[in-house]
C-alpha cells in the first residue's frame, strides 16, 4: 500500500509546482519569420465574384448579417473552398468536434492545392489539440501560432496559477479572412454549439460577412497579432518527432470522413438557402462605411487610448436617439450603469438584452450582473432577459453549457451597428483582447430594428420594478413572475453564493 501523503507534504508539492509554473520560460522568438496578408489576383475566383457589386458602390464595404448557425457554417466552408491564395483564421475556441473537423479538413485541402493557411488561436483553445495542431503545422503551406501560451503544456492550470498576471489576458478575437477579399467577423467560435449542430445547446449568435475596404483592416489586425511578441509558433511549444506524423494524420482524417458520411448535419448544410444564394451570386449585400475596432495584441502593456473601449465609449456618448446593447455576459459595473442612465437622462432610449439566470452558461457572470438591475431600471433603462432553451441548464463556472444568447452587438441610433467579440463586461474592457466591426448603414439597421420586437416577444422576459422588488413579464404569455424564471432552487442558491465573492474585475 502506498504511504499516505500528509497535508503538509501536499501543500509543499503544490507550492513547488506553482513555483515551477511561474519560473518556466517560453522559447526565444528571434528566428520566427514575419509574414503578412496575401491578396489574390484580380482575375481570381473571389475577385471576379465581387467585382460587379463592389464596382457599383465604390469606396463602400459590403456587409451581410449571418444570424443562423447553419448559414454561418456554410459561409465559412464556402470561403475556404473558394480560396486561391490565402486563408487567415483567428479564434478563441476551436473544438475538436464535427464542425471543427469540417473546417480543419477544408483547411488541409486548401493547403494541398497551394493556398497559404495561417491559423491563430488563443492558447486556451489548444489545450486538447496541441498535438494535432503541431502535426498539421508540418504541412508546408500551414502555419499555426498560439497567443500568450503557457510555458508548461501539460501542467497548464498550475502554470496559470504561477503566472496569473500574464496568463489571465486572453485573445477573444474572432475572424476568418480568405484571399484578403472576404471576411467573417463576429461572436462565434468554432464548435458545434455555435453552428446549430448540438442537440443540448443552441447559441444565438451573430456574424458579419464582409467584402470591400474593411477586409483589408481585418487582415491588418490579423497581421499585428500574428507577428506580435506574445504569439508563438506551435512547433516552438510542442514537438512532433515522427517523420510520418502528417501522413498518419491524413489516414485518421480519411477514417473520420467515412464516419461523418451521411450525417444529418451535412444534409442540413447542403439545404441552406445561403449556399444557393452564394452559388448564384444573389447575396443581399448592404453597402456602407465600415471600420474595424480592435485592441492591440499587447493590450495588457498599453494605455487605454489604443484600446477599443475608447472608440466604443465615443459611440455611446454620441448616441442621440437610441442605444441597444446585446450582450450575453453583461456586467455593467458602476461606471457602466452611470453611462447608460445618463444617456436616458438626456433623452436616449436605452435597451439592454442579456441572458436570464436560467439561460446563462456562466453563473458567476449572472451574479455579477444581477446586483445592477434595479439601478438600471430606476434609471429608465429597458432590460430584457433571454429565456432558457427549455433544456436543463448547465452549472459550469465558465465555458459553454446551455446558453440562449451569445451575440455581442451594439446598435447606435438608426445608422450604426457594432458586431464583434466584445461583451459589456470588465473582462472584455480590461483583460481580454477584442475586435469587431462598426458599420454605418441605415437600411441594415432598420432591418435589425424591425426584427427586434418579434425576437423580444418570443424569446425574452421584460424586467420591471414593483414596490416589492423585481418581477419578470413574459412577453409571450403576458404573465408576471416574481422570482428568477425557469431557474431552480439550487441554481438560484449558487448564483447568490457566487455574488458574495469579489469576482467582478474578472468577469
Q: What is the pLDDT of residues 326-344, one digit of tens each?
A: 999 999 999 999 999 999 9
Q: What is the pLDDT of residues 163-205, one digit of tens each?
A: 888 888 999 999 999 999 999 999 999 999 999 887 666 788 9
Q: Classify 164 as helix, strand or coil.
A: helix
Q: Is 174 a catalytic residue?
A: yes
C-alpha cell at 233: 509558433
- Residue 452: alpha-carbon gap to chain centroid: 22
Q: Is 179 a catalytic residue?
A: yes
CA–CA distance, 416 with 168 (Å, rounded to integer)? 32
- Name the active-site residue from 71, 88, 406, 425: 406
pLDDT at 201: 67
pLDDT at 360: 84
C-alpha cell at 438: 462598426
Q: What is the pLDDT of residues 232-265, one digit of tens each?
A: 999 999 989 888 999 999 999 999 999 999 899 9
Q: Is 392 a catalytic residue?
A: no
Higher pLDDT, 210 or 451: 210
CA–CA distance, 66 with 284 (Å, rounded to integer)? 11
- Name the active-site residue from 88, 299, 408, 425: 408
Least Cα distance to 121 among 76, 88, 161 occurs for 88
Q: Is 334 a catalytic residue?
A: no
- Name the active-site residue from 71, 179, 198, 361: 179
Higher pLDDT, 415 or 126: 415
CA–CA distance, 60 with 210 (Å, rounded to integer)? 11
Q: Is 450 a catalytic residue?
A: no
Least Cα distance to 145 among 288, 255, 29 occurs for 29
Whole-structure pTM value: 0.91
Q: What is the pLDDT of residues 112-169, one digit of tens each?
A: 999 999 999 999 877 789 999 999 999 999 999 999 998 888 777 777 777 888 888 9
Least Cα distance to 74 among 32, 95, 102 occurs for 102
Residue 5 has pLDDT above 60, yes or no: no
Cα of first residue to Cα of last residue in the chain, in angstroms, is 45
- Name the active-site residue from 37, 172, 366, 387: 172
CA–CA distance, 221 with 208 (Å, rounded to integer)? 16
The domains located in the chain, with CATH, are 34-279 (3.30.870.10), 295-506 (3.30.870.10)
- Name the active-site residue from 174, 299, 366, 387: 174
Amino acid at each position: 500500500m502506498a504511504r499516505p501523503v500528509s497535508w503538509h507534504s501536499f501543500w509543499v508539492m503544490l507550492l513547488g509546482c506553482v513555483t515551477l509554473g511561474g519560473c518556466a520560460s517560453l522559447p526565444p522568438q528571434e528566428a520566427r519569420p514575419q509574414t503578412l496578408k496575401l491578396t489574390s489576383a484580380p482575375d481570381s475566383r473571389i475577385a471576379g465574384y465581387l467585382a460587379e457589386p463592389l464596382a457599383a458602390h465604390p469606396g463602400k464595404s459590403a456587409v451581410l448579417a449571418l444570424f443562423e448557425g447553419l448559414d454561418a457554417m456554410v459561409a465559412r466552408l464556402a470561403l475556404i473552398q473558394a480560396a486561391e491564395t490565402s486563408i487567415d483564421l483567428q479564434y478563441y475556441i476551436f473544438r475538436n468536434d464535427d464542425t471543427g473537423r469540417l473546417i480543419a479538413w477544408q483547411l488541409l485541402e486548401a493547403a494541398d492545392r497551394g493556398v497559404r493557411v495561417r491559423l491563430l488561436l488563443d492558447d486556451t483553445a489548444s489545450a486538447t489539440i496541441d498535438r494535432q495542431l503541431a502535426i498539421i503545422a508540418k504541412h508546408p503551406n500551414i502555419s499555426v501560432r498560439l497567443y500568450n501560451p503557457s510555458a508548461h503544456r501539460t501542467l497548464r492550470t498550475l502554470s496559470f496559477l504561477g503566472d496569473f498576471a500574464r496568463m489571465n489576458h486572453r485573445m477573444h478575437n474572432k475572424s476568418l479572412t480568405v484571399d484578403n477579399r472576404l471576411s467573417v467577423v463576429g461572436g462565434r467560435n468554432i464548435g458545434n454549439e455555435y453552428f446549430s449542430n448540438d442537440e443540448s445547446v443552441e447559441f444565438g449568435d451573430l456574424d458579419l460577412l464582409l467584402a470591400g475596404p474593411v477586409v483589408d483592416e481585418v487582415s491588418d489586425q490579423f497581421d499585428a497579432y500574428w507577428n506580435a511578441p506574445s504569439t508563438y509558433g506551435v512547433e516552438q511549444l510542442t514537438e512532433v518527432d515522427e517523420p510520418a506524423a502528417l501522413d498518419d494524420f491524413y489516414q485518421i482524417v480519411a477514417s473520420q470522413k467515412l464516419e461523418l458520411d451521411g450525417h444529418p448535419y451535412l444534409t442540413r448544410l447542403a439545404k441552406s438557402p445561403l449556399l444557393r444564394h452564394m452559388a448564384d451570386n444573389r447575396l443581399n449585400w448592404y453597402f456602407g462605411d465600415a471600420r474595424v475596432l480592435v485592441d492591440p495584441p499587447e493590450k495588457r502593456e498599453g494605455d487605454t487610448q489604443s484600446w477599443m473601449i475608447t472608440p466604443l465609449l465615443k459611440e455611446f456618448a454620441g448616441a442621440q436617439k437610441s442605444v441597444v446593447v446585446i450582450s450575453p455576459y453583461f456586467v455593467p459595473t458602476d461606471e457602466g450603469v452611470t453611462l447608460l442612465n445618463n444617456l436616458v437622462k438626456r433623452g436616449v432610449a436605452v435597451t439592454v438584452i442579456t441572458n436570464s439566470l436560467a439561460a446563462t452558461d456562466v453563473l458567476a457572470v449572472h451574479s455579477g450582473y444581477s446586483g445592477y438591475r434595479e439601478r438600471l431600471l430606476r434609471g429608465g433603462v429597458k432590460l430584457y432577459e433571454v429565456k432558457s432553451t427549455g433544456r436543463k441548464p448547465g452549472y459550469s463556472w465558465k465555458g459553454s453549457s446551455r446558453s440562449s444568447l451569445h451575440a455581442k452587438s451594439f446598435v447606435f441610433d438608426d445608422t450604426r451597428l457594432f458586431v464583434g467579440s466584445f461583451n459589456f463586461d470588465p473582462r472584455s474592457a480590461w483583460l481580454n483582447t477584442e475586435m469587431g466591426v462598426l458599420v454605418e448603414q441605415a437600411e441594415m439597421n432598420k432591418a435589425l430594428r424591425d426584427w427586434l420586437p418579434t425576437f423580444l416577444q418570443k424569446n425574452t422576459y421584460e424586467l420591471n420594478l414593483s414596490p416589492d422588488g423585481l418581477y419578470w413579464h413574459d412577453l409571450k404569455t403576458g404573465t408576471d413572475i416574481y422570482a428568477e424564471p425557469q431557474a431552480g432552487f439550487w441554481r438560484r442558491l449558487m448564483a447568490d453564493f457566487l455574488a458574495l465573492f469579489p469576482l467582478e474585475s474578472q468577469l
